[in-house]
């Protein structure tokens, strides 16, 4: 199964890949199917990309006509706008026709996935790496980028950055290079304030951590994630608490409600952030946010609730002054 749900705000890398080279995705899926002995594949595509679905269907027909897929059949399914359906088990539920809610794990999809059968779920970018690895070899691939996380990564640049574009760079490229060399820096001569990497659930990175390479391990070390590859740049005029309020509202809205820590937690986090942003916060609110965040990260059923506190916790650490300026009591 290919996860092309791409619901993370600010992310559009999978769309760019599928628009420009749907054939590589099919080739990657066919290689995977051959390796694991699968005869049925699905692409679960974001519902807002209907023209991409058309392109994929056309590419599947062309590949079948040329006999390139053998007995491997690929079906395209469209999402209906729920962010949680990008979570692999919710995605499986959605394809089965159930409510788009995550399953308890184990069993993991590799053991019991779609209709109880062993199922591989991978992202578009993962699959399109396969044909070129088979063609040029694993050693060639491993020679590119960071040692522990080799290859390239596609990033989409949004926010207060000169070049609002997408780039594919080796994984040892630093965040500073992404924002300033490829992104062209901050427009209108303003100063850099923060960058959030990986979409709404990603950590906020301040100026003094910009020299960290954008690979999986290095990002983890600074409390951030690579996630969907969204790079959201903020200039000096941005109010961090204001940005966090929008993000908290997003998670409250997108929580599917299946587990209590996420259903209640996203709501409470949102309430407190809104209160702080209105200038009605008290010092204790910060401590409650911290505790709520820690509880959610260990007790929520899926990555949505586990990661929802990351932007809150990282901004309270790196941009404490923005909060303190609004906490009056």
Ligand X SMILES: Cc1cc2nc3c(=O)[nH]c(=O)nc-3n(C[C@H](O)[C@H](O)[C@H](O)COP(=O)(O)O)c2cc1C
- Binding footprint of ligand X on the chain (CB under 6 A): 3, 5-8, 83-84, 86-88, 121-123, 126, 302-304
Shortest reach from residue 198's CB to ligand X, in Å? 11
**Nearest residue (beta carbon) to ligand X:** 86
Shortest reach from residue 81's CB to ligand X, in Å? 12
3-state secondary structure the chain: CEEECCCCCCCCHHHHHHHHCHHHHHHHHHHHHHHHCCCEEEEEECCCCHHHHHHHHHHHHHHHHCCCCCCCEEEEEECCCCHHHHCHHHHHHHHHCCCCCCCCCCCCCCCCCHHHCCCCCEEHHHHHHHHHHHHHCHHHHHCCEECCEECEEEEEEEECCCCCCEEEEECCCEHHHHHHHHCCCCHHHCCEEEEEECCCCCCEECHHHCCCECCHHHHHHCCCCCCCCEEEEEECCCCHHHHHHHHHHHHHHHCCCCCHHHHHHHHHHHHHHHHHHCCCECHHHHHHHHHHHHHHHHHCCCHHHHHCHHHHHHHHHHCHHHHHCCECC
Shortest reach from residue 195's CB to ligand X, in Å? 20
Shortest reach from residue 308's CB to ligand X, in Å? 9
Cβ proximity to ligand X: between 150 and 303 the closer is 303
Shortest reach from residue 80's CB to ligand X, in Å? 13
Cβ proximity to ligand X: between 129 and 165 the closer is 129
Cβ proximity to ligand X: between 82 and 244 the closer is 82
Shortest reach from residue 181's CB to ligand X, in Å? 26
Cβ proximity to ligand X: between 122 and 163 the closer is 122
Cβ proximity to ligand X: between 87 and 285 the closer is 87
Cβ proximity to ligand X: between 292 and 304 the closer is 304
């Amino acid at each position: 199964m290919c996860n092309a749900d791409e619901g993370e705000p600010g992310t559009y890398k999978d769309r760019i890949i599928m628009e420009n080279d749907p054939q590589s995705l099919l080739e990657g899926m066919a290689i995977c199917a051959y390796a694991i002995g699968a005869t049925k594949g699905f692409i679960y595509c974001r519902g807002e990309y209907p023209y991409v679905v058309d392109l994929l269907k056309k590419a599947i027909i062309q590949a079948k006509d040329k006999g390139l897929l053998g007995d491997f059949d690929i079906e395209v399914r469209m999402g209906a706008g729920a962010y949680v359906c990008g979570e692999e088990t919710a995605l499986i539920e959605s394809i089965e026709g159930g409510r788009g809610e995550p399953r308890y794990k184990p069993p993991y999809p590799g053991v019991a996935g779609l209709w109880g059968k062993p199922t591989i779920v991978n992202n578009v970018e993962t699959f399109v790496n396969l044909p070129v690895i088979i063609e040029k070899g694993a050693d060639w691939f491993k020679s590119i980028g960071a040692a522990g996380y080799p290859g390239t990564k596609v990033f989409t640049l949004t926010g207060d950055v000169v070049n609002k574009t997408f780039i594919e760079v080796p994984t040892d490229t630093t965040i500073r290079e992404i924002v300033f060399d490829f992104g062209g820096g901050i427009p209108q001569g303003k100063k850099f304030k923060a960058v959030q990497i990986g979409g709404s659930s990603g950590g906020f990175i301040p100026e003094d951590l910009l020299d960290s390479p954008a690979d999986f391990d290095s990002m983890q070390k600074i409390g951030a994630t690579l996630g969907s590859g969204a790079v959201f740049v903020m200039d000096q005029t941005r109010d961090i608490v204001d940005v966090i309020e929008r993000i908290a509202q997003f998670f409250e809205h997108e929580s599917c409600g299946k587990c209590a820590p996420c259903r209640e937690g996203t709501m409470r986090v949102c309430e407190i952030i809104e209160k702080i942003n209105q200038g009605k916060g008290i010092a204790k609110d910060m401590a409650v946010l911290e505790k709520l965040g820690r509880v959610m990260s260990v007790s929520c059923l899926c990555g949505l609730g586990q990661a929802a506190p990351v932007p809150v916790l990282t901004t309270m650490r790196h941009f404490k002054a923005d909060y303190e300026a609004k906490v009056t009591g």
